[in-house]
Chains A and B, each alone.
Chain A
């Protein structure tokens, strides 16, 4: 079983600043990583797949990088609507049990 971890658990950032979120897999998942944004009371929304490809309609201030076991989601110039919880998910294994990381909450500094 591949275990996904995320750091930090909470990230306090001022509007307009950059946020860097980390995700680690316990073994290689190639580039089979997706990032999701979740706001209170809403469903997760796909931001990034393939570790670095933005989903349809996602602003360019969101970018993903990494391969193997280390992945990063970067949000440049944080907007008010970006304060949320972010989850990484590996989809290298089937079925996708225990595929999500514990999340990083980005809140206002």
Chain B
């Protein structure tokens, strides 16, 4: 079965960086892109960026441009999210999600999600 297993919770000070990993299993890693989505307490999910796991192409939300880096290690079937210059507003649960093509429209939705990684930014 498809699983996305994320790394554990992190506590960081303002100005620091955090790296979150997402290990995929149950399917061929390079056949589906991985997205990163975060969710602040009581808020809706917010898309941060995407990586094509075959070619390594990336695209980031304008909101996080310059602070976010998404990478992948195909040998380990793992995607990574790094967010720098952390501030208190970055306190949230960070999710990886796999995308899947809607065969009728050609667009992509998220079919499987990781369990989430809580990142707390506090001095």
Contacts and interface: CB of A to CB of B under 8 A. Distances in A.
Interface of A: 30-32, 34, 36, 42-46, 49-50, 55, 87, 89, 91-92, 94-103
Contacts of A49: 100, 102, 109, 111
B44 A102 contact: yes
A46 B110 contact: yes
Contact of A96 (B47, B104, B112): B47
B102 A32 contact: yes
B25 interface: no
B46 interface: yes
Interface of B: 35, 44-47, 50, 59, 61-63, 95, 100, 102, 104-105, 107-116
B108 A91 contact: yes
Contacts, number: 67
A59 B95 CA distance: 25
A33 to B, nearest CB: 9
A101 to B, nearest CB: 7
B59 to A, nearest CB: 5
A94 B69 CA distance: 19
A95 B108 CA distance: 10
B44 A46 contact: no
A64 to B, nearest CB: 12
Nearest to B106: A32
A99 B37 CA distance: 11
Nearest to B96: A43
Contact of B105 (A30, A44, A89, A95): A30
A96 B102 CA distance: 14
Contacts of B59: 95
B113 A44 contact: yes
